[in-house]
Amino acid sequence: MKLRTVYTPIFTLRLLRLCCTGSLLLAGCLSSTPPQSTLNAITATPSPTFNYPGGEKAAKVIFKIDATNGSFDSFPSAGTPPGEGKGFAARRVFRPDNTVLSAFPPWLTGVEVGISGTGNTAAIYDKCARFATAEEVNLSNCIFGGGNKVCSAPGSYYRVSEVDCTSAATLLSVNDGDGSATDGIYIRAYFSRDTAKLAAHENILAVIEYSATSFHKFQSDPKSCMSGVNFSADNCSDFSWKVFLRSAGSSTVPQPFMTLIPRMTGYVEETTLKTGGEVQSKQVILPLASDGTLNLFQISRTKSRLKPADLDGAWNAFIGVCGESTPLCAGTVFQSITFYRI
């Protein structure tokens, strides 16, 4: 096979060299210079999605009469009348580390509790719901196991003694609560919905510290809690407390937001000669952001099954064990509630 020689004219080579130089750049030629962007640089300044009001993010109410370490001063011996804004008001609030604040934060406008007594038409017996007095702190009024035991609350803390709320002499002294303004035994907290104080998107986390002691042992059979096809903790607990969230001034009876008690933290155990319950905490998120009119948080004692009619023949056994002012035999002691903005 005979090879054929191909000659490229000098003019053609010079033309290709000229095409691919910077002076004459045509399609099909590769450039060694990277292309320049024709877009202008964008500089974005970030801005917050929400505006958070300043100030304290948490406030703690200590349910104790103590000018230094408690939120309350001396309580009215005649009790407090039912109604919003008529309860026994807290005077001081604290940070979560128990250091006192100079004033209530603007988003928490007040906290009050119901005190029983002749001035409280929904809870007339003075020993039912009050702060533990110096006289009752060391009373040995729990009678079981062949001796008397101390079942009183820690000194000066807010407590509810069930035997004093439901005794035969005061059978009609305490109304069942329903979360409304007419309840006699309650804790209420009021929140400002001014968005300059509490943002519209903010909620509240309430951390409640308390103890709850029942006279009877806890129910192990859930069937006792049923009302037909409906489950009700009221049917299988010595007493009940429920949480409500509503608008202040509303005349509509609210639905419970959740059940606080039961669960109990202790019960009377005669075989081991023990009573009382450990302090427990429960966290409750209050969805204020869901409705701009919600501004009142309320915990109410809603029902007791320790009345003579409920206990029938066991009534004498109950009062024979739990004497006056014995919230650690059957009752509740509140330690504190801390409110967090979230």
pTM: 0.82
Structure tokens at 143: 């009678």
How confident is the model over 78-103, as a mean pLDDT?
A: 97
Say if residues 163 and 319 touch (Cβ distance below 8 Å): yes
Q: What percent of the chain has pLDDT over 70?
A: 80
Structure tokens belonging to residue 317:
């056994």
pLDDT tens digits for range 297-332: 999 999 998 887 777 667 788 888 888 999 999 999
Tell me: pLDDT of 21 over 90: no
Q: Region 41-69: what's the mean pLDDT?
A: 85
Residue 39 has pLDDT above 80, yes or no: no
∠ at Cα 66 (63, 72), nearest 5°?
50
Rounded distance, CA 268 to CA 163, Å? 13
pLDDT of 174-224, one tens digit each?
A: 889 999 999 999 999 999 999 999 999 999 999 999 999 998 887 777 787
d(CA 171, CA 276): 24
pLDDT of residue 172: 54
pLDDT band at 6 (very low <50, low <70, confident <90, very high): very low
Residue 38's pLDDT is what?
A: 58
pLDDT digits (tens, 9 = 90+) for 99-133: 999 999 999 999 999 999 999 999 999 999 999 99
* Average pLDDT value for residue range 61-82: 97
Q: How far is CA 268 from CA 38, 83, 238, in A?
A: 83, 34, 12
On average, the pLDDT of the chain sits at 85
Look at residue 267 in the predicted model and tell me its pLDDT: 85
Q: Give a three-class secondary structure readout of the chain.
A: CCCCCCCCCHHHHHHHHHHCCCCCCCCCCCCCCCCCCCCCCCCCCCCCCCCCCCCCCEEEEECEECCCCCCECCCCCCCCCCCCCCCEECCCCECCCCCECCCCCCCEEEEEECCCCCCCCCECCCCCEEECCCCCCCCCCEEECCEEECCCCCCCEEEEEHHHHHCHHHCCCECCCCCCCCCCCEEEEEECCCCCCCCCCCCEEEEEEEEEEECCCCCCCHHHHEECCEECHHHHCCEEEEEEEECCCCCCCCCCCEEEECCCCEECECCCCECCCCCEEEEEEECHHHCCCCCEEEEEEEEECCCHHHHHHHHHHHHHHECCCCCCCCEEEEEEEEEEEC
- Check pLDDT > 70 for residue 16: no
Residue 15 has pLDDT above 80, yes or no: no
**pLDDT for the residue 23:** 46
| Average pLDDT of the residues in 147-162 | 90
310 and 177 Cβ atoms separated by less than 8 Å: no
- Candidates 45, 162, 173; CA nearest to 119 is 173
Among the ranges given (69-73, 277-281, 334-338), the one the predictor scored with the smallest mean pLDDT: 277-281
pLDDT reported for residue 206? 98
Whether the pLDDT of residue 259 is over 80: the answer is yes
Mean pLDDT of 149-172: 82
Average pLDDT over residues 29-45: 58
Q: Which residue has the tokens 């910077």?
A: 22
Q: How much is the pLDDT for 268? A: 82
Share of the chain above pLDDT 90, in %: 57
User: Confidence class of residue 277 from pLDDT cuts 50, 70 and 90?
Assistant: confident
| pLDDT in the model for residue 203 | 98
Cβ atoms of 20 and 30 closer than 8 Å: yes
- What residue ranges do the domains of the chain occupy? 58-341
pLDDT at residue number 127: 93
Residue 230 has a pLDDT of 84
